[in-house]
Amino acid sequence: MKYLKIVVIFIILLIVIFLGDLFFNSDKGDAPSIHQALKISVLQDENYQLRLNDVSIADTYPSNLKLDLDSNYYSINLYGEKDDLLFEGKVANSTRMYTESFVNSSLKSIEEGSVSAKIILPEITVFLPLYKKAVKVNFLNEQKVVKLSVDLTKYPLKFNSQKENLCGNGICDTNENFINCFKDCRVQLSEFFKKAAP
């Protein structure tokens, strides 16, 4: 009887692992390219007008554009062939420079307060997830008005077809899961059980 319980537990464990692999790899067809990013560089003038500078593929990871910005930003939307939204994020369009209080040695006094100046970024470069089916990138201002639309079909973008085994780099990549690369994806296993719990 004890042997039967061990066999049943083992079979259940195999089923869970198999289902987990299916669960974590179910969207592989829509997954972005591994270790490559769509690099888009735009130039910005003092009136917040955008002009495309460069579109290329970079051998790097995408930028973290899931920022919680409430002002001075552009929304970036990446669209697929059927106008489906593949990715959305935000990037700052300006920054602030602060100067603090200081001692004025010639007047032997302390200037109080803090002064800030808004600086418009002359160039904005983003690294977006690289989807083979991506066709368009839109930059929108805070009022959701499209400031720049980039038609990706006009650029010869070369995808890396190489399937590298990068297990052990500390990153759970698109083609990895807790079964084929446990050392990078062990967090997936705990997330799987959290989702499976009632």
Full domain range(s) for residue 196 = 165-198
Higher pLDDT, 178 or 52: 52
| Cα–Cα dist 130/147, whole Å | 22
Is 46 part of any domain? yes
Based on the structure, what is the number of domains in the chain? Answer: 2
Q: Are residues 124 and 147 in the same domain?
A: yes
Is 107 part of any domain? no
Is 17 part of any domain? no
Q: Are residues 40 and 67 in the same domain?
A: yes
Burial (CB < 10 A; 0-12, 13-18, 19+), residue 155, is: middle
Supply the pTM of this predicted model: 0.66
Is 160 part of any domain? yes
Higher pLDDT, 105 or 95: 95
Determine the average pLDDT of the residues in 116-139: 91
Q: Are residues 159 and 85 in the same domain?
A: yes
Higher pLDDT, 190 or 93: 93
Is 15 part of any domain? no
Determine the average pLDDT of the residues in 144-162: 84
Query: Per-residue confidence at 123, pLDDT binned at 50, 70, 90?
Result: very high
Q: Are residues 119 and 181 in the same domain?
A: no
Q: Are residues 57 and 123 in the same domain?
A: yes
Determine the average pLDDT of the residues in 179-183: 80
Q: Are residues 122 and 196 in the same domain?
A: no
Determine the average pLDDT of the residues in 173-190: 75
Looking at residue 26, its pLDDT comes to 45
Q: Are residues 172 and 91 in the same domain?
A: no
Closest CA to 196 of 1, 24, 2, 4: 24
Q: Are residues 146 and 193 in the same domain?
A: no
| Cα–Cα dist 173/7, whole Å | 33
Looking at residue 135, its pLDDT comes to 93
Q: Is the pLDDT of residue 77 over 50?
A: yes
Q: Are residues 183 and 93 in the same domain?
A: no
Is 83 part of any domain? yes
| Cα–Cα dist 142/72, whole Å | 8
Q: Is the pLDDT of residue 32 over 80?
A: no
Q: Are residues 147 and 51 in the same domain?
A: yes
Determine the average pLDDT of the residues in 63-77: 90
Closest CA to 34 of 191, 178, 161: 161
- The average confidence (pLDDT) of the chain is 80
Q: Are residues 96 and 135 in the same domain?
A: yes
Percentage of the chain lying above the pLDDT 90 cut:
36
CATH number of the domain within which 160 lies = 2.60.40
Where helices occur in the chain by DSSP H, the ranges are: 2-24, 182-196
Q: Nearest 10 degrees: CA dihedral of 110, 111, 116, 121?
A: -80
Is 24 part of any domain? no
Q: Are residues 62 and 154 in the same domain?
A: yes
Higher pLDDT, 50 or 179: 50
Is 25 part of any domain? no
